[in-house]
Amino acid sequence: METLVTILNVSGPYREPREPAFSYDYSIQRPNWPTPQGVRVKISIADELEYLKGKVLGVSGGSPGQQLLVTRMLSRRIADRKFQIASEEGMFSERRDVMIGPFTGDLGHLFARLEIWMNETRSVMREEIREKVGL
């Protein structure tokens, strides 16, 4: 039986220097691991963030500050969901640092699960954006 992963810390978003992506760094621990391990989750700006923002939620406009808040809020939600999907896929079964790239290319088969989540949580995210950002 797989033991649960405990998230000790999350930092980010960071702008990836050589690719159009944001990333979050997770520090994770399992009860049977002697030390925490690192997980970097990358979010493709065009294929994941803008897809959620534009096509699923239909969010546009606003001041630069509002757009920054929306981007930060949505990118974190995407990263958390991608972390969950990766955990369900057994990507953290070995004790090593892991990098989860955008769900395109080799990981493209996982995008369908991310898209289903986006559509299921659409109304909750829209309401949160309306309350916290005013868009």
pLDDT tens per residue across span 98-126 = 999 999 999 999 999 999 999 999 999 99
pLDDT at 1 over 50: no
Q: What is the pTM of this model?
A: 0.92
User: Which two tokens mark 111?
Assistant: 């995008």
Residues sharing a CB contact under 8 Å with residue 100, sequence separation 6 or more, in sequence order: 39, 40, 41, 42, 82, 83, 86, 91, 107
